[in-house]
Chain A
Amino acid sequence: MAIAQKIRWSLIMALVAVASTVFVSKALTTQKGTEKIIISGASTIAPLVAEIAKRYERENPGIQIDVQSGGSSRGVADARSGLADIGMVSRDLKASERELVDYPIARDGIAVIVHKSNPIQALSKEQIRNIYLGRITNWKELGGADMPITVVNKASGRSTLELFAGFMNLEPADIKANIVIGENEQGIKTVANSPGAIGYVSIGTAEYSERSGTALKLISLGGQVPSTQNVADKKYDLSRTLNLVTKGKPSVAVSHFIDYVQSASVKDLVEEQYFVSLK
């Protein structure tokens, strides 16, 4: 009986704990006067917008901003369906997406990266295309060391892949990859750990990793040097504009936030994320 009683008591305590947690969290989220902005989309932009949102929330009490990451396609889909107030899209809108309004917030480029020990300094668009099509499989065919090429590609659906494949005039299905990766960071670690690898990631991330001593190298592409400066000056073609999108005219709170994201007061945050500010 004593055991049964103890168990019953602990069960009651647990129930009370759960109930009070639910009550308190509900009370906190339904604070009066709070306006909630939901943002979802490109994982490239999400960290930047999250940082901006934090600062914005501090300066504008009563606004709560929820940033979720899940790819440009999701950003477009959520903005369309109204699941999110703002979508994040790390490319220009397609013709079929013209009903959305886009607000450019920064620029980003894709750098082609190889291992630091690789003597190759530059490649042409055609050479990279042939590598990704599996027509060139050894670095010696490009004047490098006698070493098989490990082709690192992004998983399908990622906007980096979309931009890269579009620029290189490749069908994603025709790419002969040896390794398929998800996030930028995984790509950088993979290339830095395989001497014969070639991959492509966001320029800001690559530049930062190279500067902080990771064993990789950004190679120039058809004579254009990959750098954040060149992306800003539009002197590097393999680059993209990062956009916020809304469906139709946004509400006052939302458009106030978008103005803030586009303003010069977040330039430092944009540069902290290794993107190129438009201001």
Chain B
Amino acid sequence: MSPLSRNGATTLSFFVCGMTCVFIMLMMLLFIFDQSYGFLTSVGVERVFTDKAWIPDSGFYNFIPMMIGTLLVSVGAILIAAPIGLGVAIFCNFYGGGRAARFFEQLLALLAGVPSVVYGLWGLMAVTPIIYKVKPPGASLLAGILILALMIIPTVGIIAKESIRRVPSSLINGAAALGLPREKIIFYVVLPSARAGLYAAVTLALGRALGETMAVLMVTGNVVRIPTSIFDPIRTLAANIALEMAYAADVHRSALFASGLALMFLVIALVMMSSLFNPKEVMRDIS
């Protein structure tokens, strides 16, 4: 029994709040499914993989280059953002003095709040010209990875910082009492016991990366082709929806909704995966 007495009206209100989210989520899924139904029945899932290219005007709907583009840019971004975010989190908890740590925390919060279109504009006008000098056309997978990494570092950093902070001090004190040096404590005691939160940080950031649209659209060049190098342009599923939705009709429109559905399932799968890392179980493992 909870210390708060359970009161019918209060319980009901919270239940309504909770159900609203569930309801909206379900309605959204239903809507997207309904909108993509035309594509799924008339073209079918199979042709998403077997068509020769993405040429909606001529009736070819191959999602593969865009799926690969989406995965490459997101995974690339997380490979850069995860170590940096983790580094910031460790710094804030163990190395930075009070003021430095607070400064970094605020910087992360600020970075998380910058609108994505601003990142996109900055990327288009400052990052792609530099890449252009190395190898044209500049707008490329690499530019997308760099901008996305910058955008998800705060997500990784903030969650990782919190989960590290929540590691019981008894563990740290115990390790210190055994005479372990600071680095050993951090890497062999703190990080393993905070790993549930760290996994969650990475999956959430990956989710954000997969769905990011505006910034990616402005810097990746949006050519539908499987990239052969990091300097090749790519188009992500989300960018494809944003680029073509306003002008699409009939099956083309439905195909865009279907690609949205695919993206949504991908993100749902990710979130479910992150909930597999149950903190309680991890705690039991180490104790």
B4 with A3: CB separation less than 8 A: yes
Q: Is B242 an interface residue (CB 8 A)?
A: yes
Task: Please pick, from A1, A11, A178, the residue contacting B5 in the complex, using a CB distance under 8 A.
Answer: A1
Closest residue of chain B to A186 (Cβ to Cβ) is B218
Q: Main secondary structure on chain A at its contact with chain B? A: mixed
Interface stretch, picked from B50-58, B92-100, B147-155, B177-185, is B50-58
A173 with B246: CB separation less than 8 A: no
A-B pairs with CB below 8 Å: how many?
105
Q: Is B244 an interface residue (CB 8 A)?
A: yes
Chain A residues, CB < 8 A from B13: 7-8, 11
A73 with B249: CB separation less than 8 A: yes
Residue of A8, A72, A189, A193 most packed against chain B (CB within 10 A): A193
Give CA–CA (A4, B224) in the complex, Å. Answer: 55
Chain B residues, CB < 8 A from A173: 53, 55, 57-58
Chain B residues, CB < 8 A from A194: 128-129, 132, 136-138
Interface string of B100-134 (1 = CB under 8 A from A): 00000000000000000000010011001100100
B223 with A69: CB separation less than 8 A: no
B4 with A190: CB separation less than 8 A: no
Closest residue of chain A to B121 (Cβ to Cβ) is A189
Which A181-216 residues have C-beta < 8 A from chain B?
A: 181-182, 186, 189-190, 193-197
B233 with A178: CB separation less than 8 A: yes
Give CA–CA (A107, B156) in the complex, Å. Answer: 50
Interface string of B200-236 (1 = CB under 8 A from A): 0000000000000000011001111000000001010
Closest residue of chain A to B224 (Cβ to Cβ) is A180
Residue of B4, B56, B139 most packed against chain A (CB within 10 A): B139
Chain B residues, CB < 8 A from A181: 222
A178 with B223: CB separation less than 8 A: yes
Chain A residues, CB < 8 A from B252: 157
A182 with B243: CB separation less than 8 A: yes
Closest residue of chain B to A76 (Cβ to Cβ) is B249
Answer whether A172 and B132 are a contact pair too, CB < 8 Å, given A178-B221, A194-B138: no
B233 with A157: CB separation less than 8 A: no
A182 with B217: CB separation less than 8 A: yes
Q: Nearest-CB distance from B87 to chain A (Å)?
A: 31
Q: Is A144 an interface residue (CB 8 A)?
A: no
Chain A residues, CB < 8 A from B224: 180
Give CA–CA (A34, B1) in the complex, Å. Answer: 57
Q: Nearest-CB distance from A178 to chain B (Å)?
A: 4
Task: Please pick, from B7, B221, B247, the residue contacting A156 in the complex, using a CB distance under 8 A.
Answer: B247
B249 with A179: CB separation less than 8 A: no
Chain B residues, CB < 8 A from A156: 55-57, 244, 247
Q: Main secondary structure on chain B at its contact with chain A? A: helix
A179 with B139: CB separation less than 8 A: yes
A179 with B7: CB separation less than 8 A: no
Task: Please pick, from B10, B58, B139, the residue contacting A190 in the complex, using a CB distance under 8 A.
Answer: B139
How many chain A residues touch the partner (CB < 8 A)? 36
B246 with A177: CB separation less than 8 A: no
Chain A residues, CB < 8 A from B242: 182
Task: Please pick, from B57, B139, B246, the residue contacting A74 in the complex, using a CB distance under 8 A.
Answer: B246
A7 with B129: CB separation less than 8 A: no
Answer whether A193 and B244 are a contact pair too, CB < 8 Å, given A181-B222, A186-B124, A186-B218: no
Give CA–CA (A4, B218) in the complex, Å. Answer: 48
B247 with A178: CB separation less than 8 A: no
Residue of B7, B129, B247 most packed against chain A (CB within 10 A): B247
Give CA–CA (A77, B248) in the complex, Å. Answer: 10
Chain B residues, CB < 8 A from A180: 221-224, 233, 235, 243
Chain A residues, CB < 8 A from B5: 1, 4
Q: Is A227 an interface residue (CB 8 A)?
A: no
Task: Please pick, from B10, B136, B137, B243, the residue contacting A4 in the complex, using a CB distance under 8 A.
Answer: B10
Chain A residues, CB < 8 A from B21: none
Q: Nearest-CB distance from A60 to chain B (Å)?
A: 29
A189 with B244: CB separation less than 8 A: no
Chain B residues, CB < 8 A from A182: 217, 242-243
Answer whether A148 and B243 are a contact pair too, CB < 8 Å, given A8-B10, A74-B249, A179-B222: no
B247 with A71: CB separation less than 8 A: yes
Q: Is A228 an interface residue (CB 8 A)?
A: no
Between A and B, 16 residue pairs with Cβ closer than 8 Å are: A70-B246, A70-B247, A72-B247, A155-B244, A156-B55, A156-B57, A156-B244, A157-B244, A177-B223, A182-B243, A190-B124, A193-B124, A193-B125, A194-B129, A194-B137, A196-B137
Closest 5 CB pairs of A and B: A157-B247, A71-B247, A180-B222, A178-B137, A155-B243
Give me the interface of B with A, judged by CB distance under 8 Å. Answer: 4-5, 7, 9-10, 13, 53, 55-58, 121, 124-125, 128-129, 132, 136-139, 217-218, 221-224, 233, 235, 242-244, 246-249, 252
Sample of 8 further A-B pairs with CB below 8 A, known A3-B4, A193-B128: A11-B10, A70-B247, A148-B136, A156-B56, A179-B137, A190-B128, A193-B124, A193-B129
Give me the interface of A with B, judged by CB distance under 8 Å. Answer: 1, 3-4, 7-8, 11, 43, 69-74, 77, 148, 150, 155-158, 172-173, 177-182, 186, 189-190, 193-197
